[in-house]
Structure 1
Amino acid sequence: MVYGFIKCPARFYYEIFSSGTSFSFGTSFSFGASVSSHLVHFLDDLTKTLADVSVSVSSAKFRIEELIRTLLHFIRTLLLLALPSVPHKEPPIMKDQSVMRENTVASEIGKFNLLQEQRVHTYRLFEEGHKIYLSTSPNYDFPTFRQLVHDVTQEFKRISGDIIAIEKNLRSSGNNAVADTILAIQECEKKKLELTAHLQLARQMVTECSEGELEKMKEKEIRAELGHVVEEINDHLTELRYEIYNGE
């Protein structure tokens, strides 16, 4: 094989590219995923083989050293052609901590807004259920209303638990101002639920005692107090929107 290469190197290259399968230096070579491993073994075998070769040609035009350099150059070229190209990947961009904090705020407030909408919807169901309950007077359908109260209580409990988790996440990420606002809303919502229960009881007393001025006054006071709490909640919600705007 060495003599064939010395006599006709161009023909030797052509035979390799045409077959693309093997060399006669003890190592099989095939293009594919393991091409680099095969070429490493091939180069080792080639070096050892050429080191042991004794060529006695009186008019040789190539020295063994030149043959080795030529073959190594060819193999390196072949390696570059055979290996698949690796797509260039941009190095990961480290986000600024302030950007990460803004993303956290936006994400958590989005979750909070969704939960707040669910809470408003639950209040509406509670109010509609109580109106239906009052319409069954004087023989109140208490079992149905009791089940409604149970379902509503569980839903409010779930919503409050999720919002508390949001408040903790914001605080742990350093967004204390937003967390404080959400905590204030939670406190107001607690008052609102208590006042709603008192208002429903007062309305039932007014229904049963239509001439009772004391009951009507009590209902009016609770309704006014509940209105103040609702205004306070709306103020905190506005403050929360400003927090989002300032963050952007």
Structure 2
Amino acid sequence: MVPSDFKALIQRFYHLQSERVETYQLFDEGHEAYLRTGPHYDFDHYKQLVHEITQAFCGISKEMLEIKEKLHHQFDRPALSEHIEKLQSKEKHKLELTARLELARRRAQDHPGGRALSGNIQEIKHEIIKNKEALSEVLQDFKYDSEEFD
């Protein structure tokens, strides 16, 4: 494989990661819109959004795993492959946390004044921040290792 193929693969990785960030933004905006429809929530519209977001995340993950395999087998870059493995795991956890946060926010909206609910929201937000920090570290390691041979 020629170096330009490697660079194109790395660029595609970063493009997919950007798409993932944009998808999270759409998800957050959609959830905000959903909460504004309360107390008689427009669940059908929100369910469609969740379906579309899920498809987007699945497509991104599938392509990330293909890049991971190419980096490992075609370019003999197991360290980069491992970074993608870690990234995928952290992204999965971030999505789980995001879903938990959305449920907690809905419960808090439905039961205003509940201290336990607002405490739960803060706890989940803190976990998301820690997760984002860990994601940043993995991306920094990936960047360092991908530029190592330039």
- Whether TM exceeds 0.5 here: the answer is yes
Q: Which has the larger radius of gyration?
A: 1
AA aligned opposite 1:190: K
5+ residue gaps in structure 1? 1-96
Residue 113 in structure 1 maps to residue 14 in structure 2: yes
1:165 to 38, 61, 66: 66
How many angstroms apart in 2 are the aligned matches of 1:104 and 1:180?
Answer: 19
Task: Report what 2:117 is aligned to.
Answer: 215
Moved over 4 A (4+): none
Shift of 1:134: 0.3
Deviation per residue, 1:186-225 (Å, 9 max, x gap): 1100000010000000011111111111111111111111
Q: Counterparts of 1:167 and 1:245 in 2: how far apart (Å)?
A: 16
**What is the RMSD of the two structures over their aligned residues, measured on CA atoms?**
1.2
Alignment pair present for 1:132 and 2:33: yes
**Equivalent residue for 1:177, pick from 59, 62, 79:** 79
Does structure 2 retain, via aligned residues, the 8 Å contact 1:105–1:175?
no
Cross-structure match for 1:149:
50
For 1:124 and 1:215, the matched residues in 2 are separated by: 23
**TM-score, normalising length: structure 2:** 0.95
Q: What is the TM-score with the length of structure 1 in the denominator? A: 0.58
SS in 2 for 1:247: coil
Shift of 1:104: 4.3
Higher share in helix: 2
Q: Percent identity?
A: 36
Residue 166 (structure 1) shift: 0.3
Q: Counterpart in 2 of 1:233?
A: 135
